[in-house]
Amino acid sequence: MLLADAEQWTARAIGLATLLATIELLKIRRVMADDGVWSWPYLRREHVVLPTPLRLLFAALLPYRPFVALLWLRLPLALTLLCGSSLGAPLLLLTEVAIGVRFRGTFNGGSDYMNVLILLALSVARVAHSVPLVVTGCLAYVAAQAMLSYVIAGLAKLRDRAWRRGLALGALVADAGYGTPGWLRSILTRPSVSRVASWSVLLFECSFPASLKNPSVCAAFLAMGVLFHLGNSVIFGLNRFLFAWLAAYPSLLFVSQLLQI
């Protein structure tokens, strides 16, 4: 995969991720209205802690009407990325941060982190488009963060006794709060299935650095990654993670190829 291809596919994938996320937010926008749960007249009180320039910026962007306009603006920006151009990345990055701040940090946790860091990398790559070393550095940064995301998550789970004993996944899906479909819950709460599934997650996440061995091994890991995120989407409803992490995969593939040379 050439550097330009990796950059373009990253742009396409993050374009799709932000497009879907924006459609979701537009669909539920009533909760951000002045009479909704995340009402700006209340949220703004918390902004007194921000430095004045940021406070003024968010005071202009985050009230209900401008914020909804911002969400509509994200649609064409996401589409330009989907078409392979990272021209809209800096502006989309600003809207992504604004969404995080509107929800007091993040709306969807990990997927927001991944979207922000990929858009940041694409924005820098766009500005320094004529310097291949900088563009390579941006993609390496995305790859490093994607790898960290798996390894840290895996090692942190490994510290937990329930994960080591293979009980964790069964216990998590048994919790009604995640809304796991009944048929899946009845399968995953079986001790033998829970043990195999828990250890599969641990092994996949902890062994992820091996994906950089060569492009073929990397492709195999990424295929497992797609299945892993698809599973999380069905089991825990974390659909945004699938698309956000997919956007990091071209960088991982590119870096695995780079290390091979």
Closest approach of another protein to the CB of residue 197, in Å? 12
How buried is residue 72: exposed, middle or buried, by Cβ count under 10 Å (0-12/13-18/19+)? Answer: exposed
Closest approach of another protein to the CB of residue 210, in Å? 12
Binning the chain into helix, strand and coil, the percentages to the nearest 5 are 80, 0, 20
Contact assessment for residue 114 and residue 149, using Cβ atoms and an 8 Å cutoff: yes
Q: Rule CB under 8 A: say whether 76 interacts with another protein.
A: no
DSSP string, 100-127: HHHTTT-SSTHHHHHHHHHHHHHHHHHH
Among 57, 233, 257, 258, binds another protein (CB under 8 A): 233
- Identify the sign of the CA torsion 186, 190, 193, 196: positive
Q: Rule CB under 8 A: say whether 152 interacts with another protein.
A: yes
Closest approach of another protein to the CB of residue 155, in Å? 3
Q: Residue 140: how many CB atoms within 10 A of its CB?
A: 17
Closest approach of another protein to the CB of residue 25, in Å? 7
Joined together, the tokens standing for residue 4 give: 């330009």
d(CA 203, CA 83): 36
Contact assessment for residue 3 and residue 254, using Cβ atoms and an 8 Å cutoff: yes
Closest approach of another protein to the CB of residue 247, in Å? 14
Number of residues engaging another protein in binding (CB under 8 A): 71
Among 4, 131, 156, 227, binds another protein (CB under 8 A): 156
Q: Which stretch binds another protein (CB under 8 A): 41-49, 73-81, 129-137, 189-197?
A: 41-49
Q: Rule CB under 8 A: say whether 34 interacts with another protein.
A: no
Please list every residue from 82 through 141 that binds another protein, using CB under 8 A.
96-97, 99-101, 103-110, 112-114, 116-117
Q: Rule CB under 8 A: say whether 37 interacts with another protein.
A: yes
10 alpha carbon, distance to own chain's centre: 13
Q: Residue 104: how many CB atoms within 10 A of its CB?
A: 10
Q: Rule CB under 8 A: say whether 70 interacts with another protein.
A: no
Q: Which stretch binds another protein (CB under 8 A): 72-80, 168-176, 188-196, 245-253?
A: 168-176
Closest approach of another protein to the CB of residue 101, in Å? 5
The contact mask relative to another protein for 195-224 (x = CB under 8 A, - = no) is --------------x---------------
Rg (CA), the chain: 20
Please list every residue from 7 through 26 that binds another protein, using CB under 8 A.
20, 23-25
